[in-house]
Structures are given as C-alpha cells and as structure tokens.
C-alpha cells in the first residue's frame, strides 16, 4: 500500500494502474452511505433501499451514520441556511476518498424554495459529484445516479459535470381521455399478481 | 356550543369584548391586549377550554398608524364539548403582549415562533428565543416588509464555476402574475405587479408598466 | 436551554458525588432524529435530566412563499408539509379555501378525496410504525411496510401521476377524475394491506425486546397533553378521545362507520397500537367509500370561477377561455375574510388559518402543524427516561420535519 500512495507522476506502471482499477472497482461496489436525510426526498431514499427497488444489489445499502466511516454523502432533501454549517462540518469530517450526491432538486438547486431560508443548491456549500433532479426523484433515477457515480469512481474522473442524456427516448404519451386505451394499458393489479 | 361560550364571554366581560364575529361558522371575539391573560384564564377555568389549538399573528402594515399593526389570535377547544373559540387582539409594532404559556403550556413554542417570525415579544415568557430561524438572523421574516428573497447565509456561498445554473426568480423575472411587490407597495409607490389586479384595486399603474420591461415605451407616472 | 421545571430526582438518578450533568448534543444530523431535530441533553449517566428540543432546521418558508402566488399555487407547498401523507395536506388546504369560499364539491369528488386520503393515512401510519421498529432493531417489518407503501404509491401514481408529492388537490375538487381502474386497483390492494398489518403485528407484538422498549416508556399525561395542544395518535394514546373526523365531521365522514382507538397510558406502545388500529379503521372506511362512491359524475365544482374548465371547452368556447385565463393569471378570488379550517391529518389536527384580502393572492396562510405541538410535548415524555429511550419515543411521535418546521 505504501508504494501506491507515494508514486510520483510519470512512474505509473502496469501494476499500479491495474491496482488502481481494482481499488476503484472495489470502492464503487461497496459504497457506504451517509444519508444526510432532511426532507421529503428521504421517503424516496427509503423506497430505493426497500425491496422493490433494492439499492443493495449495487452494494450500496450500508448506511453509516458516522462521517468517519462513510464514503458517499447523500444529501437528501432541502438544506436550510441553518443546516448549512452542519452539512459543511459533516462533509469536512468525512475521510477521503469521498463523494457527494445531491439528491433531489432542493439539494441540487434549492428547488422551488426561492426564499430567505433555503440554500440554493448544496454545491454552494460543498462540492457535489452527482446531481439527481426530481421532486422527489423516482427510485430508478436514484439508481441511475448511483450507476453514474460508480462510473465516475471507476474512471477516476473529477472533471466538469455534464448533463447526461436519457438512455432511451420514450415515446410521447398521447394526450386526451383515451390515453390509456391508446397505449393498451391494463389495470395496475391484474388478479393474482401481488405477491 | 361555541355560541354559548361567546355569550358567556360577553356577559362576563361586557365591554371588554370589542367585536364579535362568526364568519363561515368560526366564532371569534376581539379583545384589548390588556385583557389578554384575563380572558384566557377565564376561558380555561370557567369554560373548560383546556385544549390549546394554535396561537399566531397576522401582519397588517397598511393599517398603521390608525390601528395597531399586528393581530394576534389564539384558537382554543373544549375537549368535553368540542366547542371552539378564537380570541384575537391587536398589538402595535414594538409593543409586547403578556405570555399565555402560564395558562396553557402549549403556547410556549407558538409564542416563540411569533416572536421569531413577527418580532412580537411576549412578557413573562420563560425562554423567548428564536425557534425556526437561527440566532444570527436579523429581522423577522413573516413581516410584509421583509423581502422573501433576502437570504442571510451562515456559510459563505462557494463559487461553482463549471456548473451553469440560472438565477432563481426574482419579483421582476419570470411570470409576474399575481405577485405582489410588497416593498414597492409599502413605499407608497402603489405598484402591483399584475396589470389587471392593479386596475381592479384602483392603482394607477403596475410594476410591469415600468421601465424595467418596456424601456421608454411608457411614460413614467409622476411618482418615482 | 429552558429550565427543567420537573427535574426528576429519585434514588436511582441521584448523583452520588456532586457533579455537573453531562451535556450531550443529538442532531441535527442524526439517524434517529428523522432528519433535522437537534436535542441538547443534560445527562446524569444515562438518565435525562433536562432537554432542549430545537426544531427549525428544515424551515423552508412555507407561509411566506404562499404569499407569492395564487391560491392554487400553494398545493405543491402543502404536499411537502407532511410528506408521508401528502394527500391529506392537499385535501386539508383545499377544504380550507372551500370553507372560505363557502362551496362544497360534488359527492363523487368527496368520496375520491376520502379514499385517497385514507390511503395516505395508511402509508403514514405504516411508515411511522415501521421506522420505530427499525430503530429498535427490527428491520424486517420495516421492509414489509415499505413494500406496502410502494403498492399504495403505485395506485397513487396511477391516479395522480406522481408517487409522492402529487399536488393533486385543487380548490373545488381534484386535478383529474378517477381513472377507470381506480375501484379495481384499490379494492385489490386492501386485502394485502390487511394481511401485512397482521404480519407486522405478529412479528413485533410477541417480541420481549420490543415490548420492553415500548411499554412504559415515554409516558404522556392526559392533562399535560391537552394543555400542550397534542392531537392525533399522540393525544389519543394518552386517553384523549378526539378525532376531527368524528367530532366535527367534514367531507362525508359522518356516513362512514368507524371507531377511534384510544389508549390509556400514553406510552410508546399505546401510540404504536393506536396507529396500527387506525390503519384497520382506515381500511374499513375505504371499503365503505368504495361501495358508496358513485361511478360517474363530476368531481369538481361546476363554477367556472373556481375550477378550471375542460380543455375541450377552453379551446372551443370563449367563456371557458376567459375563465381559464382569469383563474391562471389572477387566481381564484375568495371573499375577504379569515377562516380556520381543520382536518384530521396523519399526525392529528392539521389546521389552516387563512386570511384573504379578496385578491387572488393569499394574504396569510398559517399552518397549524400537529407535530409541532406533539414535539413540544416530547420533552415531558423523555425527561427522566434514559438516553436510549429517546429513540422509540421520538419515533412514535412521528415528527415530520416538513410539517413541523414548515
């Protein structure tokens, strides 16, 4: 391990790069979260961790409520001006390597709380790696963001944030009363499907 | 049942009940600030209003100087009969009101919040400090003259150089409908943002007629 | 720190050597604090001698933000009050403005509101109980409860378009009528809710550890609860028999046959059981509402000064266009006046004290948050108990930060 941290630039060889890759691989699949949950997004965070959407299959289900033991700071919910120093302190107490996920629009940009008491985005206080828009974001969006973070960890990127285009372009929904008939939708719970 | 309580109040306090109201079925009385604790104690002891519901304030800055600026209301309920009553009083800006936390302990936090949001101090309160805002905050946010977008950050905002974000909407940005520019209104500039509402309220011009939007297309009015 | 006027002194807690109590800070980022409450404790060993509960870390300026838009633009803010049962907050606010305007919506709309509201209440109570259990170490019932909540949210998504913060209420009705599969979906869901309720109770109520940590802990005295302004399951667990749906029935609740569970000692276990029982009563109400609900008919109030007209009419008739324009640009105009309207939300009496000045913008919207007063009473519940007792006690109050701090 000592050789890993002390090599100078230009001296990386096959073993150190391979080692970094393996290290990144192990880090990204065993993220310990610090769920800094404040508001409504906490509910969707719970659902992401729940059996239906299951964040555990990504290896990221272990919450550690001590910043010293956590890798990822999930800022879940609105941060008020009063809470900002607390958040900053928690971030500073986390040990490297650490990443920050701004979960929800309130954490990303203040949401629709444009007033005297809301911090307009957590990145005004701490640096953020992944932003998840949504009020609250669907669990699928959260898992997508987690996968983005994993890619970021693997590639070691610390570069400029980019807006990720949707992976598939969804068909436009038809407006009108007959929407459900038009897309051939059936009832949510056909007989006998809930287990 | 609530009407019975109101009539008992009237017979007990007579002229002390300055006004009586039952808009949409809400029975309420208005009293002077000097009778505040007396009426409250009477309601709790004689009328069984033991369930404390809410205490809050409303800011009418345009009422000054003829009438006091704030209305403070307390809502109460009788647990046995489910009767409900609202008592209100008027408080001037800078004046204080005696605390009700000795009568109902639930008034403790409600009064702290009124102090925090409106700046109305309560005499005799055991622990009057801010509850929703932080101590370093200056001003009282729910007052109409406190602009909503004036933030007082505790942590200085850092530069976020590589993230392009749009500024949040101010009063003049985005769609101005139905928004009231309180700063201009209280300054006497009489500027309501929406033109149609401005016309309806008899104001001479709306904020959106000003130079900010139309350059020199509209001749500014004599005020300004 | 406010003075502890009832510092508990007994042989068990008396200090043997004269010494200062230890000051410990819990929160505002703490797993058991459900987000954002800070508690500053004075401890003698593990016993709490004094506590200062500091809310306000999630103050988001609800009341001031309401003064910036129209009456219908308040609905997204109300969603984020009690965000575990947002439909109840939507309904509470729409009922408040309807009281101000003195209108009643058609019956089909009222039944729709009742059913969606009771589903939200079920999800609220389940979340509270599940989270309490999780904090005591019982992780499995929490996962079961989240599974049920996901089913409820699926139905809500089908109806409203969003799982959680749906902003579906409107003054004068709802944003859209029920879908064709509404009855079927809800009727299919109910037996599964009942089944999971039974499973959770079976898992927890025979567990010695759970019972020891919940029974006799966090006691709340009835007189104190009344003076504190407690309502809802917290008050009912202390023996106060109050439920707005039964005492001041609104929105057709007088047509339903349901009971109000009332506890005796006001301890955590009573609150837990009151919530479980209320889930069962909500299921009963939903059954009855589904039977009684008309299958067709309007959901929204017909007056064009209140509800948005149908899009077909807006594009084809001038009256509807004008009505739509005025409603969107200026907002609906309640008469000048002031009302206090209250409903039974997940945590108790959610009140909206509205002041209207006759324009389309609210003059003052005051929320009477039930968990604000319940949290205030939490202090008396934990004084004298031990540090570890804060966890189940605080969890059983169901302090929702959005509602508490607004």
Question: pLDDT class for C12, splitting at 50, 70, 90?
Answer: low
Measured between CA atoms, how close is B123 to chain C, in angstroms?
16
Question: What residue segments make up the domains of chain A, in order of their start?
Answer: 15-162
CA dihedral C352, C353, C357, C360 (to 10 degrees): -10
> What is the predicted pLDDT for the residue at B201?
57
Structural domain boundaries enclosing C198: 73-302+333-405
Contact C97, C67 (CB under 8 A): no
Whether C64 maps to a domain, the answer reads no
Give me the architecture of the A15-162 domain, per CATH: 3-Layer(aba) Sandwich (3.40)
Q: At C399, which helix (H) or strand (E)? A: none
Q: Mean pLDDT of all residues in chain A?
A: 79
Residue with tokens 């509602």, as numbered in its chain: C403
Cα C199 to Cα B208: distance, rounded to the nearest angstrom: 61
Q: A123, B160: Cβ pair inside 8 Å?
A: yes
Distance from CA of C204 to the nearest CA of B (A): 33
* Residues of chain A found within 8 Å of residue C56, distances taken between Cβ atoms: 82
Query: Which of C143, C154, C402 shows the shortest C-beta gap to A51?
Result: C143
pLDDT above 90 coverage of chain C, percent: 66
Which residue of chain B has the CA closest to A117?
B151
From-to residues of CATH 3.30.460.80 in chain B: 2-123
Q: Is the pLDDT of residue C285 over 60?
A: yes
For the segment A71-100, the average pLDDT, to the nearest whole number, is 92
Question: What is the reported pLDDT for B195?
Answer: 53
Chunked in runs of 10, what are the mean pLDDT values of chain B (224 residues)?
Answer: 84 87 90 91 91 93 86 93 92 92 93 94 92 92 87 84 59 52 69 54 46 31 34
Q: Does pLDDT of A8 surpass 90?
A: no
- What's residue A12's pLDDT? 59
Residue of chain A minimizing CA distance to C67: A115
- Give the closest of A42, A82, A90 to C59, CB-based: A82
Confidence check: pLDDT of C200 > 90 = yes
Phi-psi region of C308 (alpha: psi -120 to 50; beta: other; left: phi over 0): beta
C254 touches chain B (CB under 8 A): no
- The pairing of strands B51-59 and B28-31 is unpaired
How many residues in total does chain C contain? 406
- B 162-191 residues inside an 8 A Cβ radius of C: 177-180
* Residue-level pLDDT at C45: 86
Question: Which residues, including other chains, have CB under 8 Å from residue B29's CB and lie 6 or more apart?
Answer: B6, B9, B10, B17, B18, B19, B20, B21, B85, B86, B87, B88
Pick the residue from chain B with its C-alpha nearest to C374: B106
Query: Does the pLDDT of residue C28 top 90, yes or no?
Result: no
Band of pLDDT at residue C20, cut at 50, 70 and 90: confident
Report the C-alpha gap between A35 and C353 in whole angstroms: 35
Average pLDDT of chain C is 89
A81–chain B Cβ distance below 8 A for any pair? yes
The alpha carbon of C71 is separated from its chain's Cα centroid by a whole number of angstroms, namely 21
Q: Mean pLDDT throughout C192-213?
A: 92
Task: Assign residue C86 the CATH number of its domain.
Answer: 1.10.645.10
Give pLDDT, residue A1.
Answer: 39
Q: What is the pLDDT of residue B193?
A: 52
Residue B79 contacts residue C240 (beta carbons within 8 Å): yes
- A177 vs C132, higher pLDDT: C132
Contacts of C363 in chain B (CB under 8 A): 58
HEC per residue, chain A: CHHHHHCCCCCCCHHHHHHHHHHHHHHHCCCCEEEEECCCHHHHHHHHCCCCCCHHHHCCCCECCCHHHCCEEEEECCCECCCHHHHHHHHHHCCCCCEEEEECHHHHHCCCCCCCCECCCHHHCCCCCEEECCCCCCHHHHHHHHHHHHHHHHHCCCCCCCCCCCCCCCCCCCCCCCHHHHCCCCCCCCCCCCC
pLDDT at A45 over 60: yes
Contact B123, A70 (CB under 8 A): no
Q: Is residue C322 part of a domain?
A: no
pLDDT single digits (tens) C333-369: 889 899 999 999 999 999 999 999 887 888 999 999 9
Measured between beta carbons, the chain B residues lying within 8 angstroms of A102 are none
Distance CA C223, CA C240 (A): 9
* Cβ-Cβ contacts under 8 Å, C349 against chain B: 53
In a domain, C162, yes or no: yes
Q: Which DSSP helix (H) or strand (E) runs through C41?
A: strand C38-44
Nearest-by-Cβ selection for C355 from B58, B131, B134 = B58
User: For A114, which of B149, B154, B165 is closest by C-beta distance?
Assistant: B149
At A108-152, the pLDDT tens digits run 988 888 888 999 889 889 999 899 999 999 999 999 899 989 988
Q: What is the pLDDT of residues C363-402, one digit of tens each?
A: 999 999 999 999 999 999 999 899 999 989 999 999 999 9
**Beta carbons of A113 and C65 less than 8 Å apart:** yes
Number of domains in chain C: 1
Q: How far apart are CA B149 and CA B171, in angstroms?
A: 9
Contact C185 A187 (CB under 8 A): yes
Question: Measuring CA to CA, how many Å separate C48 from each of C8, C18, C24, C330, C385?
Answer: 9, 16, 10, 54, 6
Q: Do A81 and B138 contact (CB within 8 A), yes or no? A: no
Q: What is the pLDDT of residue C333?
A: 87
Q: A interface toward C at CB cutoff 8 Å?
A: 35-40, 42-44, 46-47, 49-53, 63, 65, 77-78, 80, 82-83, 86-87, 90, 112-113, 115-118, 135-136, 138, 180, 186-189, 191, 194
Distance CA C246, CA C261 (A): 12
Q: What is the pLDDT of residues C54-70, one digit of tens each?
A: 999 999 999 998 888 88
pLDDT of residue B209: 41
**pLDDT higher than threshold 60 for residue A103:** yes
pLDDT of residue C230: 93
- Residue A36, pLDDT score: 92
In the predicted model, is pLDDT for residue A159 greater than 60?
no
Task: Please state the rounded mean pLDDT for residues C274-295.
Answer: 94
Residue recorded with tokens 């934990």: C382
Query: Is C242's CB within 8 Å of B127's CB?
Result: no
pLDDT of residue C238 exceeding 70, the answer is yes
Chain A residue closest to C404 (CA)?
A39
State percent of chain C over pLDDT 70.
95
Q: Which residue of chain B is at minimal alpha-carbon distance from A130?
A: B163
CB B121 within 8 A of CB B142: no
3-state secondary structure C281-295: HHHHHHHHHHHHCCC
Q: How far is A148 from chain B (nearest CA, A)?
A: 17
Domain boundaries B2-123, corresponding CATH code: 3.30.460.80
Q: Check residue A161 and give its pLDDT.
A: 59
For position C3, what pLDDT does the model report? Answer: 56
Asked if the model's pLDDT at residue C18 lies above 70, the reply is: no
* Euclidean distance between CA atoms C297 and A175, whole angstroms: 21
What residues of C are in contact with residue B56 (Cβ under 8 Å)? 353, 366, 368
Q: How confident is the model at residue A191 (pLDDT cuts 50, 70, 90)?
A: very low
Window 273-302 of C: residues touching B by CB (8 A cutoff) are: none
Across the strands, what pairs with B21?
B28
The rounded distance, in Å, linking the Cα atoms of B66 and C391 is 52
């Amino acid at each position: 391990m000592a050789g890993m941290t002390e090599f100078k630039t230009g001296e990386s060889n096959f073993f150190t790069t391979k080692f970094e890759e393996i290290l990144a691989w192990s880090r990204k699949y065993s993220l310990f979260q610090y769920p800094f949950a404040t508001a409504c997004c906490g509910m969707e965070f719970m659902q992401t961790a729940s059996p239906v959407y299951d964040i555990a299959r990504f290896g990221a289900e272990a919450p550690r409520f001590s910043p010293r033991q956590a890798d990822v700071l999930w800022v879940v919910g609105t941060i008020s001006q009063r809470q900002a120093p607390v958040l900053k302190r928690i971030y500073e107490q986390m040990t490297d390597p650490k990443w920050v996920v701004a979960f929800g629009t309130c954490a990303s940009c203040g949401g629709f709380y444009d007033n005297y008491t809301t911090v307009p985005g957590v990145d005004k206080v701490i640096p953020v790696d992944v932003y998840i828009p949504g009020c609250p974001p669907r669990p699928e969006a959260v898992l997508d963001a987690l996968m983005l973070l994993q890619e970021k960890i693997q590639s070691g990127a610390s570069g400029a944030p980019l807006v990720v285009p949707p992976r598939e372009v969804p068909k436009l929904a038809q407006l009108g009363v007959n929407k459900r008939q038009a897309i051939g939708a059936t009832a949510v719970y056909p007989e006998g499907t809930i287990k | 049942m609530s009407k019975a309580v109101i009539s008992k109040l009237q017979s007990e306090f007579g002229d002390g009940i300055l006004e009586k109201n039952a808009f949409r079925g809400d029975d309420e009385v208005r009293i002077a600030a000097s009778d505040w604790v007396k009426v409250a104690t009477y309601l709790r002891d004689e009328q069984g209003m033991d369930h404390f519901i809410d205490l809050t304030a409303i800011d009418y800055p345009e009422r000054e100087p003829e009438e006091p600026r704030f209305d403070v209301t307390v809502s109460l309920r009788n647990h046995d009969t489910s009767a409900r009553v609202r008592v209100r009083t008027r408080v001037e800006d800078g004046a204080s009101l005696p605390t009700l936390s000795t009568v109902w302990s639930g008034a403790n936090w409600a009064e702290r919040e009124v102090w925090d949001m409106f700046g109305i101090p309560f005499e005799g309160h055991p622990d009057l400090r801010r509850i929703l805002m932080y101590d370093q905050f200056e001003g009282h946010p729910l007052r109409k003259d406190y602009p909503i977008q004036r933030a007082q950050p505790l942590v200085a905002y850092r530069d976020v150089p590589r993230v392009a974000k749009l500024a949040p909407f101010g009063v003049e940005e985005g769609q101005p409908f139905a928004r009231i520019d309180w700063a201009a209104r209280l300054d006497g500039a009489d500027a309501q943002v929406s033109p149609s509402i401005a016309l309806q309220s008899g104001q001479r011009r709306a904020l959106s007629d000003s130079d900010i939007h139309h350059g020199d297309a509209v001749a500014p009015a004599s005020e300004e | 720190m406010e003075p502890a006027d009832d510092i508990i002194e007994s042989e068990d807690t008396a200090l043997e050597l004269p010494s200062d109590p230890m000051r410990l800070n819990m929160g505002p980022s703490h797993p058991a604090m459900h987000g954002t409450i800070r508690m500053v404790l004075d401890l003698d060993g593990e016993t709490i001698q004094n506590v200062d509960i500091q809310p306000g870390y999630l103050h988001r300026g609800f009341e001031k933000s309401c003064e910036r838009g129209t009456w219908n633009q308040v609905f997204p803010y109300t969603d984020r009050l009690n965000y575990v049962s947002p439909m109840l907050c939507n309904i509470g606010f729409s009922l408040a403005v309807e009281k101000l305007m003195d209108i009643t919506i058609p019956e089909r709309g009222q039944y729709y509101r009742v059913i969606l509201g009771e589903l939200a209440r079920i999800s609220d109570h389940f979340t509270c109980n599940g989270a309490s259990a999780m904090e005591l170490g019982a992780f499995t019932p929490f996962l079961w409860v989240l599974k049920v909540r996901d089913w409820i949210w699926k139905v809500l998504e089908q109806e409203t378009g969003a799982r959680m913060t749906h902003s579906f209420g409107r003054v004068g009705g709802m944003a859209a009528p029920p879908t064709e599969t509404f009855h079927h979906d809800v009727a299919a869901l109910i037996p599964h809710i009942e089944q999971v309720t039974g499973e959770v109770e079976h898992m927890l109520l025979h567990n010695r550890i759970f019972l020891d940590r919940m029974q006799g802990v966090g006691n709340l005295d009835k007189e104190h609860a009344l003076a504190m302004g407690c309502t809802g399951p917290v008050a009912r667990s202390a023996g106060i028999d109050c439920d707005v749906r039964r005492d001041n029935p609104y929105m057709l609740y007088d047509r339903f046959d349901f009971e109000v569970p009332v506890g005796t000692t006001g301890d955590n276990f009573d609150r837990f059981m009151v919530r479980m029982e209320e889930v069962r009563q909500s299921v009963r109400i939903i059954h009855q509402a589904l039977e009684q609900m008309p299958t067709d008919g309007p959901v929204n109030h017909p007056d064009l000064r209140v509800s948005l007209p149908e899009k077909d009419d807006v594009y084809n008739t001038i009256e509807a266009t004008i009505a739509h324009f005025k409603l969107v640009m200026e907002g609906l105009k309640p008469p000048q006046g002031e009302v206090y309207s209250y409903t039974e939300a997940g945590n108790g009496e959610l009140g909206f004290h509205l002041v209207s000045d006759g324009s389309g913008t609210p003059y003052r919207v005051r929320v009477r948050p039930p968990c604000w007063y319940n949290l205030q009473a939490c202090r008396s519940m934990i004084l004298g108990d031990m540090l570890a007792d804060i966890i189940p006690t605080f969890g059983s109050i169901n302090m929702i930060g959005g509602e508490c701090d607004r």
